[in-house]
């Protein structure tokens, strides 16, 4: 990818409408849900019934600290992947930029779509940055492949999947296992491509994307295959300590993200403390399902899914929606705000660097 193409790509991905779209979708769904729930109950009374005690505020702070744990885990992983070449400040900046990208792109795309560009802007050679982002993708998928079965094994099926029963429950269960199967297959391909049989995977990808109806993606697919081989050459030399550190950062980041919901339940619905494990387990299901959300950052889908999926733990629909809003503010809208601060400065530096290179050439 040339500097000119990268520069144009950066401008396109961060265009204003792409930033505003998820906000509009999320707010629209919230308003519709408020309007729907207002027919069934007095939402003003529900809000008045929430008592913001010192304990409630402490748990809200705890929820923010859990998200900080998520950022620390991913920044730690970026430092480990670059052999600590990145400073903590640089690692956090890359993390925030990746999360902002996740907020404004469909969940299936994720923040890694421009991760190599962000790393490159912090002094990591672009080819190596691409290698590192493929590694982060593999680690994230590996986390789900390992821990989802463990969570399901230690949580009764009627507790992790049941929330009101009927078509919703069956739909959630089916979607979860279909997406998990796809994640498992993709993780196996990544493992084979970057650790086990990289040359074999490259040959298979080359042949498959020679087929007539797949030729339009040939360039992207062969580029991915070549990057897998390059990634394999670097990763095969890494000691076990490296793998423990990067996977530890991965596990810390995802676990901390899930614990945000536990903290909110702890503060707003202390009577549900006995169900903290089930609340945590259901987060795995929610995030796996959200991986196929067509909206940017899961906007709209997240709020609705949270309200429905935890409905059996929450006394009223209004309370469920209020909890969903707090959850999205802490785990989503905060990153939109941080990105709105970081991205203009980052784009300005990127454009300046591009112009400097163009002038020198």
Burial level of 5, CB count in 10 A (0-12/13-18/19+)? exposed
pTM (two decimals): 0.84
> What confidence tens digit (pLDDT) does each residue in 62-120 have?
999 999 999 999 999 999 999 899 999 999 999 998 888 888 777 655 656 678 888 88
Among 291, 186, 195, 197, which residue's Cα sits nearest to residue 234? 195
What local confidence, expressed as pLDDT, does residue 1 receive?
A: 45
Among 330, 286, 280, 275, which residue's Cα sits nearest to residue 308? 286
Spell out the residues 6+ positions from residue 49 whose beta carbon is closer than 8 angstroms to its own.
319
Two structure tokens written together for 89: 């400040």
What local confidence, expressed as pLDDT, does residue 251 receive?
A: 96
Look up tokens 């697919």; give the residue. 221
Kind plus residue range of the DSSP H or E element containing 264: helix 240-268
In the chain, domain spans: 3-360
Arithmetic mean of pLDDT over the chain:
80
48: number of Cβ within 10 Å: 9
Q: Confirm if 299 and 104 have CB atoms less than 8 A apart.
A: no
Q: Confirm if 231 and 238 have CB atoms less than 8 A apart.
A: no
How many angstroms separate the most distant Cα atoms in the chain?
Answer: 67
Say how far apart CA 131 and CA 236 lie, in whole Å.
13
Q: Confirm if 303 and 328 have CB atoms less than 8 A apart.
A: yes
What local confidence, expressed as pLDDT, does residue 210 receive?
A: 80
What local confidence, expressed as pLDDT, does residue 163 receive?
A: 55
What local confidence, expressed as pLDDT, does residue 274 receive?
A: 65
Q: What is the dihedral of CA 99, 327, 298, 28, to 10 degrees?
A: -120
Residues (pLDDT < 70) of the chain are: 1-23, 25-27, 29-49, 107-113, 162-165, 272-274, 349-361
Two structure tokens written together for 82: 């670059």
Tell me the residue length of the chain: 361
336 vs 15, 90, 286, 304, 327, CA distance in Å? 13, 19, 21, 20, 14
């Amino acid at each position: 990818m040339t500097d000119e193409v990268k520069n144009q790509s950066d401008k396109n991905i961060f265009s204003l409408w792409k930033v505003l779209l998820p906000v509009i979708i999320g707010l629209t769904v919230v308003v519709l849900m408020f309007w729907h729930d207002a027919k069934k109950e007095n939402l003003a009374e529900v809000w008045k019934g929430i008592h913001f005690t010192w304990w409630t505020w402490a748990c809200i702070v705890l929820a923010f600290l859990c998200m900080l744990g998520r950022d620390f885990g991913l920044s730690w992983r970026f430092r480990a992947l670059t052999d600590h070449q990145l400073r903590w400040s640089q690692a956090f900046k890359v993390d925030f930029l990746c999360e902002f990208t996740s907020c404004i792109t469909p969940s299936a795309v994720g923040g890694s779509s421009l991760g190599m560009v962000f790393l490159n802007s912090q002094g990591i050679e672009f080819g190596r940055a691409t290698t590192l982002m493929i590694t982060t993708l593999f680690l994230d998928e590996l986390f789900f492949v390992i821990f989802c079965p463990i969570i399901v094994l230690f949580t009764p099926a009627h507790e992790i999947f049941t929330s009101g029963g009927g078509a919703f429950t069956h739909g959630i269960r089916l979607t979860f296992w279909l997406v998990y199967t796809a994640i498992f297959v993709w993780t196996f391909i990544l493992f084979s491509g970057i650790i086990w049989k990289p040359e074999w995977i490259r040959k298979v990808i080359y042949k498959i994307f020679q087929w007539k109806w797949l030729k339009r993606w040939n360039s992207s697919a062969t580029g991915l295959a070549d990057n897998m081989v390059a990634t394999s050459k670097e990763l095969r030399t890494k000691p076990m300590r490296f793998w423990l550190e990067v996977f530890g950062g991965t596990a810390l980041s995802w676990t901390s993200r899930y614990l945000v919901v536990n903290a909110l339940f702890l503060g707003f619905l202390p009577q549900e403390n006995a169900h903290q494990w089930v609340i945590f387990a259901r987060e795995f299901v929610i995030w796996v399902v959200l991986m196929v959300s067509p909206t940017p950052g899961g906007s709209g889908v997240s709020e609705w899914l949270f309200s429905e999926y935890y409905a059996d733990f929450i006394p009223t629909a209004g309370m469920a929606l209020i909890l969903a809003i707090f959850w999205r503010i802490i785990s989503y809208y905060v990153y939109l705000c941080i990105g709105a601060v970081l991205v203009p400065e980052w784009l300005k530096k990127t454009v300046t660097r591009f112009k400097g290179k163009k002038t020198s050439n």
